[in-house]
Amino acid sequence: MTDVATEETGFRSLADQLRSWDDDRLAGLLSARPDLTTPAPHDFGQLASRATVRASLARALDTLTLLELSVLDALVVAGQTTADDVRGIILAEPGAVDTTLARLVDLALAWHGRGGLRAVSGVADALGSGPGSSGLRPRSPDAPPAAEVETRLAGLGKPARAMLEHVAAHGGEADAGSARMTVSPADAATPAEELISRRLLVPLPGRRSTVQLPGEVGLALRGGRTTTEPVDAVPPVVTGERPARLVDTAAAGAAYEVVRRVELLLDHWGSHPPAVLRSGGLAVRDMRATTELLGVDVPTAALVVETASAAGLLSTRADAVGDEVFCPTDAFDSWLEQPPAARWVVLVRAWLASNRLPALVGTRDAQGKTRNALSPELSSYSVAESRAGTLAALAGLAPGEVLAGATGLPSLVERVAWHRPRRPRSRADQVAWTTTEAAVLGVTGLDGLASYSRVLVEGGDPEQALAALLPDPVDHVLLQADLTAVAPGPLESALARQLQLVADVESRGGATVYRFTPGSVRRALDVGWTAVEVHGFLASVSRTPVPQPLSYLVDDAVRTFGTVRVGAAESFLRADDEAALSELLHHPKAAALGLRRLAPTVLVSSTPVDVLLGRLRDLGAAPVVEAADGTVQVLRPDVLRARTPKDRGPSHRSVRESARVSAVVAAVRSGDRAAAVRPSAPGTPLTPSGALAALREAVETGATVLIGYVDNQGVSSERLVDPVSVEGGSLTAHDHRVDDVRTFAVHRITTVRPVEAD
């Protein structure tokens, strides 16, 4: 490279422009268009060519806003031009256009060619007639100045003008029928000829009677702009007013509720894991059971299930007989240890990043089959982006502003669609799902974003803000004579678990109502509590005296329950019942156990615990094992846990990606240097990818190249061609030898050599 090209002077090719960028700017491009990095391109030529492939362009366009698409479209209409010119033909704030142009260049969707700023080839096709497209044709290369076009328009007769406007409104292309293509304005006999003669419609090259409306004429018809509506007007969201405090309390109420539901569900599934369907989902029957367990409808239950799964709290494992079942992961246990606000954050972050579609659970697919929760096909690449977009739009509202009743949601859809107009088609659904799900999860309340969710959306940690809104955990209950206990708020986790053991939960919500029954008390005894412990526990958690009927109930349950307990710590036996020990001690068959009375209620034995246990049971005792620290080891139904799936969280992903991006940048540079020092020996066979890159570059620059080509008969020849496009493995180019457009198979092209233009 001898002459130093800049954006002012223009570059020979997109590859040249990329080559001139610093590493940061390149990294920016590769991060924004990650598909360019896989696999890592060899050099800038290949990078540039890959950036203009249709698929890559389509992906890049999908991430643009309506304004960006419109500006890009204007650039296509304008052809190679200056920024000033582009500003002139777009109905938008000039400042916004400048920023947008810069971004388009950064995304390698536009570049500074020698002839001015231009969109990369292929953009016009990729834009198609989708969002942002103005429907105008590119300006003719020899377009007359706007004033001249105006004059020509002014000279038209009424029928011709009407015809022109009809063509403009219907795709800009028309069949001229028998109209003569070469005719002077004076000779024009029909409106069509009148238009053709004034070059307001021009014949389409290569097509006999088809004419099209050149860009400059279309612009003139629209008053000099590509659109008649401003393209930088972001659609407003229709809102209503609600006190911010109410929004927060309503949302916090829901937030607390969802945390509670996840806990309830996974606790239940820990002991009653539902089977995994062969297709990978949760059976409809289990879904129904879940709705009953949680007391909610199917969409809500599905959201709870899917969110728990997304947060890594729920996974699958094989049960005792080897069937796959859903059960909580070990992460669930550590999740439980956290305060409710932190648990909520875990759930909601997972939901935000998840690509799952819980809203579709329970609906029927095209085959009429019910869609199951947790089934693999219930996901969409775009839903996480929709969620982020929706919440960002909501975060744009002032505190206290909420979506208006009927019109709020449609306006929100429009706003989100403005930011990503091209995809997906189900945007309206996805936005609606997001608002519903956000309300259930407590991200929003009364259709407004809660203050703590705003922190979350802005990238902060909402835990503190949410914790302040959640009810404080209470450490006591109110015991009542009707054998219920009411916890007037969320109980501390450990306390709640103990209470759940001794009593059955009757009603849940802000408060919890527990009911003591003989069965529930026996359950506590089964796990090793003694009467004294139960009484002590009740007395300690109750703020009021323990009602007499409750004490009576406990005693009554104890009365019918076994009294002997055995410790595991190096063989000791203790029991509240002296007689039972005496009986053991004096049992004729117990001699071998080496039992010795330690205290009236304690025996020790020289037999190892495992042997001792069996022997004691043979003797008819019902021992319970005690751990070294005095707590009881209990045999209770296994509670299953699966391993937490190694999720590639977004933070890991971004770190890894930025590392990857810089590696790619380095690789591209070195590859490029290597290519530069390699003697460009003419005729050196190229790899297919090298050939592609060279051809794409030629397409970009409109250069003439000499290609080595092996034809159908295996005869090798050299052709001088002007490449027009490279698509689907074939090169379309104007062949100088036959002076016509021909198609060449890329894999048969052996060499590509630039020809110095003369």
Residues that bind another protein (CB under 8 A): 249-250, 252-254, 256-257, 295, 439, 445-446, 469, 471, 478-484, 486, 488-489, 507-511, 513, 544, 547-549, 552, 560
DSSP strand pairing (173-175 vs 210-212): antiparallel
Q: Rank residues 187 and 482 by Cβ distance to another protein and give the closer one.
A: 482
For residue 161, the minimal CB distance to another protein (Å) is: 51
For residue 399, the minimal CB distance to another protein (Å) is: 17
**Could you tell me the CA-to-CA distances from 369 to 118, 277, 324, 568, 702 in Å, in that order?**
50, 14, 22, 55, 54
Q: Which of 702, 701, 731 is nearest to 719 (CA)?
A: 731
The CB density around residue 498, as the number of other CB atoms within 10 Å, is 16
For residue 394, the minimal CB distance to another protein (Å) is: 16
SS3 314: strand
For residue 539, the minimal CB distance to another protein (Å) is: 16
Q: Rank residues 507 and 670 by Cβ distance to another protein and give the closer one.
A: 507
Q: Which of 113, 39, 35 is nearest to 79 (CA)?
A: 113
Q: Rank residues 210 and 542 by Cβ distance to another protein and give the closer one.
A: 542
CB 448 within 8 A of CB 398: no
The dihedral region occupied by 446, where left means phi > 0, alpha psi between -120 and 50, and beta the remainder, is left
Q: Rank residues 11 and 516 by Cβ distance to another protein and give the closer one.
A: 516
> Can you tell me the distance from the alpha carbon of 370 to that of 355, in angstroms, rounded to the nearest whole number?
20
For residue 262, the minimal CB distance to another protein (Å) is: 15
SS3 404: coil
Q: Rank residues 334 and 517 by Cβ distance to another protein and give the closer one.
A: 517
For residue 156, the minimal CB distance to another protein (Å) is: 56
> Can you tell me the distance from the alpha carbon of 753 to that of 697, in angstroms, rounded to the nearest whole number?
11
> Can you tell me the distance from the alpha carbon of 695 to that of 753, in angstroms, rounded to the nearest whole number?
9
**Could you tell me the CA-to-CA distances from 513 to 3, 479, 632 in Å, in that order?**
82, 10, 27
For residue 392, the minimal CB distance to another protein (Å) is: 23
For residue 516, the minimal CB distance to another protein (Å) is: 11
Q: Rank residues 471 and 528 by Cβ distance to another protein and give the closer one.
A: 471
Q: Rank residues 224 and 489 by Cβ distance to another protein and give the closer one.
A: 489
For residue 448, the minimal CB distance to another protein (Å) is: 12
For residue 551, the minimal CB distance to another protein (Å) is: 9
| First-residue to last-residue Cα distance in the chain | 19
Q: Rank residues 89 and 502 by Cβ distance to another protein and give the closer one.
A: 502
Three-state helix/strand/coil letters over 705-733 = EEEEEECCCCCEEEEEEEEEEEECCEEEE
CB 63 within 8 A of CB 57: no
Identify the H or E element spanning 506. strand 504-507
Contacts of 254 (CB under 8 A, 6+ apart): 439, 440, 441, 442, 445
Q: Rank residues 289 and 478 by Cβ distance to another protein and give the closer one.
A: 478
For residue 252, the minimal CB distance to another protein (Å) is: 6
SS3 654: helix
Q: Rank residues 238 and 246 by Cβ distance to another protein and give the closer one.
A: 246
> Can you tell me the distance from the alpha carbon of 263 to that of 257, in angstroms, rounded to the nearest whole number?
10
For residue 443, the minimal CB distance to another protein (Å) is: 13
Q: Rank residues 78 and 487 by Cβ distance to another protein and give the closer one.
A: 487
Q: Rank residues 259 and 384 by Cβ distance to another protein and give the closer one.
A: 259
CB 122 within 8 A of CB 52: yes
For residue 248, the minimal CB distance to another protein (Å) is: 9
CB 219 within 8 A of CB 146: yes
Q: Rank residues 211 and 439 by Cβ distance to another protein and give the closer one.
A: 439
CA 555-557-562 angle, to 5 degrees, is 105
The dihedral region occupied by 132, where left means phi > 0, alpha psi between -120 and 50, and beta the remainder, is left
CB 202 within 8 A of CB 214: yes
